[in-house]
Amino acid sequence: METPANCAVLNTNESLKLSITNHLRFTLGAYVESASENDWFVATSLAVRDRVMERATQSRTKHRSQGVRRVHYLSLEYLMGRLLENNLRNSGLYDIAKQALKDMGKDLDTLLQKEPDMGLGNGGLGRLAACFMDSLSTLDLPAIGYGIHYEFGLFRQEFVNGRQVEHPDAWMRDGSPWKIARPSYRQTVHLYGKVIQKFDEFGHPHHEWVETKCLLGLPWDIPIVGYDSSTVNVLRLWQAQADEDFNFQVFNEGSYVDALREKAIAETVSKVLYPNDATESGKELRLVQQYFFVACSLADIVRRFKNGYNLPWSEFPSKAAIQLNDTHPAVAIPELMRILVDVERIDWAQAWAICQKTFSYTNHTLLPEALETWSTALFERVLPRHLQIIFEINHRFLTGEVEARWPGDMEKKRVLSLIEERGGGKHVRMAHLSVLGGHATNGVAALHTRLLCERLFPEFFELYPDRFLNLTNGVTFRRWLDVCNPQLSALITESIGSGWLKDSSKLRELDRFADDSSFRERFQQIKRGHKVHLAKIIQDTCGVSVSPDALFDVQIKRLHEYKRQHLNLLHIVSLYRRLLENPQLDIAPRVFIFGAKAAPGYYLAKNIIHAINALANKVNHDPRVGGKLKVIFMPNYGVSIAERIIPAADLSEQISTAGKEASGTGNMKLALNGALTIGTLDGANVEILEEVGPDNIFIFGLTVEGVTDLYKRGYNPWDFYWASEDLRLSLDWLASDYFTGNQDEFKPLRDSLLTHGDPFLVMADYDAYAASQAEVDKAYRDQPRWQKMAIHNTARVGKFSSDRTILEYAEKVWKLPQVSM
């Protein structure tokens, strides 16, 4: 489509200036002379949005007119971060905008800092969804992301006396320039009520779900701007609203206050993101949230199918692929069955075939405590018809395919059932529902997928071997290199051209520069510049001064025992102790940097945060360590803070217990920015090792098989406690009254590692970790060697671009065409 020459939205300096001042004057009602910095941020964002929305409309029109299959990505979480800089860089407007604002006396980089993070996710899973949206638009793939418009994203974290305190994250209190309401696509959602069976005039039965409570879902669209691409897909987020009709009745009865209370209750559904990561929450509101989101999204997809084409239902899968990001949206499977069977009156077998062709499922965890189940009692109350449908799916499965394969085998039926019976209660296994209701189930790294097939779903794998596949995660190199590290991006482009931004395999061409000492010098200077910048941020937020010449050792990720921040902690305690014993100890100065939020109800995780802060408080004020050791816990870890820490990192801590981290994506971002990994053979670390080579990574500790063997022999953490004096003294010192004045403060931490059996094998891996850290120290003191290793990391991690991941999904799972505009 052509843009008329007199159109106001051109990608030129003059046109952008006009747009910005027009938005200041007419949208915001501000005087250009006295507008606030926030007004300037909003006006600039709106000017960019104007230039993007037309492409969003064109993309939608083209996808519809060509009748192509689209993928619908269903995720309860999207960890988007800030959008303005990303959208400017992706659409090639950054330099133009910088100059235009400069001409008007404004500094773009200052305005960028005004944008609040869009933090509608907990961690890796939500950030993966955001990276995928970027890749889908960049690769011209027809896609819609669906999510929830949470009023409050992940809590804002503060430390008070070293302890985590949570505050609400009112990210959209001032509105957001990126989201656009779409009231004409509002949906109605039913909940609760009961099911009755009815018969038509031919005596055919069907089910009706009656006496329900109603909610409305209002969609908000956020345009997703790809890099150097004309496709703009949208992220559609649903906000819960009260059904006005429902209120009206109560209102007529004169109960105005009750009516408004109902309204407030209805609106709690999209109020807040559940802050649990890697644990299942099991609350009624959470189930209502999941169903609300799924019902709105499916109704939207079905509306588009019915209005767009005059096709039989059997063609539905040829127009719509639906990806389930973990089991959180798995209730979509019985919901589509309900629509097809109860509303569209399609027979069960045909409906089930449509369902299986439409859905695919990504598993994100092997941790038993994170596998979602819902009690059938709760399910029946909230979604009575859906529970019936799940029972019928299960009955047909167990008496059909399972019985045919393993006749008379009750044990096979018990382990495969969608319903788990435990402790007198029955629970729906959402993971089993997800595997059964789709045509593909994928893990997110090679090791994880192997364990998925061998350990989590061995019987499903035996029944349906072709349904399982691996799709190793990736991250977008735009945000995680071009946007957060423009200096390195420019150096790479200067050296090998800009093709790597869209074809990450080209990064390998950088490998040969590792032997070029002048390139190494520039690579190192860029890293140092980021370290200087981060040191300033640390000074401003933590009041601690750190040297940019020290080794920046970084562990940033959710706080969880399986990620083993406490293994890192114990090693720092040991270093501190050894430095006090011998102040001449010859080690490279180090700054240990943590960033992590703990789930508010996860007591031990919070105890670990407190312990790290208590240690930091002692170390950072102890003149005896001579500046060789600093410990920083950056509060409120999120996407924007990650974008400051990652380019400044020398060492990336990826030290989870083998077999516990599905993939990790932080590991990829850090390696891409030239940090060396110290890590276990877990998740995608295994593949990072394959790519960068054993000389450019520090691998230590038990393997998955080693862990299994250790448990077979019988694991006793006390054996390791008594065998290692270093470990014993460090743990005992940490748990003493020395760091807080209270000898019971870190008793929960010590107990978990000793009396409670050390479930994540911190004690077993400690010595190997400490030895590997000594290797790191040695390598860092040989700077030319270190810089070579760092360059090899950046050059060799092209595999971990989310573009590669998304192209694999598009080819192997979704069968999507690339549609350029």
Ligand X SMILES: *Cc1c(COP(=O)(O)O)cnc(C)c1O
**Minimum distance from CB of 120 to ligand X (Å)?**
12
557 is an active site residue? yes
Whole-angstrom distance, CA of residue 263 vs CA of residue 286: 18
**Minimum distance from CB of 638 to ligand X (Å)?**
5
| Residue 304 identity | R
SS3 category, 457 = coil
User: Residue 385 or 558: which CB sits closer to ligand X?
Assistant: 558
Helices vs strands, H then E, count in the chain: 33, 25
User: Residue 479 or 628: which CB sits closer to ligand X?
Assistant: 479
Please provide residue 217's backbone torsions phi and psi, each rounded to the nearest 5 degrees. -120, 120
Q: How many CA atoms lie within 13 A of 373 on its CB side?
A: 18
**Minimum distance from CB of 668 to ligand X (Å)?**
8
665 is an active site residue? yes
Please report the DSSP string for 251-263 in residue order: HHTT-HHHHHHHH
Whole-angstrom distance, CA of residue 409 vs CA of residue 34: 77
**Minimum distance from CB of 658 to ligand X (Å)?**
16
User: Residue 297 or 485: which CB sits closer to ligand X?
Assistant: 485
Cβ 789 vs Cβ 779: under 8 Å: yes
533 is an active site residue? no
User: Residue 123 or 219: which CB sits closer to ligand X?
Assistant: 123
Q: Which of 364, 385, 412, 660 is catalytic?
A: 364
User: Residue 564 or 750: which CB sits closer to ligand X?
Assistant: 564
Whole-angstrom distance, CA of residue 430 vs CA of residue 787: 47
Cβ 97 vs Cβ 16: under 8 Å: yes
Pairing of β 180-181 and β 213-225:
antiparallel
Q: Which of 89, 669, 788, 799 is catalytic?
A: 669
**Minimum distance from CB of 557 to ligand X (Å)?**
3
Residues in the chain: 821
**Minimum distance from CB of 558 to ligand X (Å)?**
6
Q: How far is CA 16 from each of CA 99, 136, 478, rounded to the nearest angstrom?
A: 10, 27, 23
Cβ 197 vs Cβ 109: under 8 Å: no
Q: Which residue is nearest to ligand X (CB)?
A: 666
User: Residue 579 or 639: which CB sits closer to ligand X?
Assistant: 639
**Minimum distance from CB of 588 to ligand X (Å)?**
24
558 is an active site residue? yes
Number of CB atoms found within 10 A of residue 775's CB:
12
Q: Which of 55, 72, 328, 557 is catalytic?
A: 557
Whole-angstrom distance, CA of residue 313 vs CA of residue 322: 15
**Minimum distance from CB of 121 to ligand X (Å)?**
8
Q: Which of 558, 597, 610, 804 is catalytic?
A: 558
**Minimum distance from CB of 197 to ligand X (Å)?**
48
Residue 175's DSSP bridge partners are none
396 is an active site residue? no
Cβ 506 vs Cβ 519: under 8 Å: no
Q: Is residue 367 packed enough to be buried (19+ CB in 10 Å), middle (13-18) or exposed (0-12)?
A: middle
669 is an active site residue? yes
Whole-angstrom distance, CA of residue 291 vs CA of residue 297: 10
Cβ 164 vs Cβ 606: under 8 Å: yes
Q: How far is CA 38 from each of CA 34, 35, 426, 638, rounded to the nearest angstrom?
A: 11, 8, 52, 21
Specify the long-range contacts of residues 731-735, CB closer than 8 Å, at least 24 apart. Answer: 731/570, 731/573, 733/573, 733/577, 734/569, 734/570, 734/573, 734/611, 734/615
Q: Which of 44, 362, 373, 665 is catalytic?
A: 665
Instruction: Point out which residues bind ligand X (CB under 6 A).
Output: 79, 123-124, 127, 557-558, 638-639, 642, 664-666, 669
Please report the DSSP string for 548-586 in residue order: TTSEEEEEES---GGGTHHHHHHHHHHHHHHHHH-TT--
Residue 85's DSSP bridge partners are none
Give me the residue label for tokens 């006749």: 407
**Minimum distance from CB of 271 to ligand X (Å)?**
22
**Minimum distance from CB of 651 to ligand X (Å)?**
14
Q: How far is CA 546 from each of CA 543, 551, 612, 696, rounded to the nearest angstrom?
A: 10, 10, 17, 26
Catalytic amino acids? 364, 557-558, 563, 665, 669
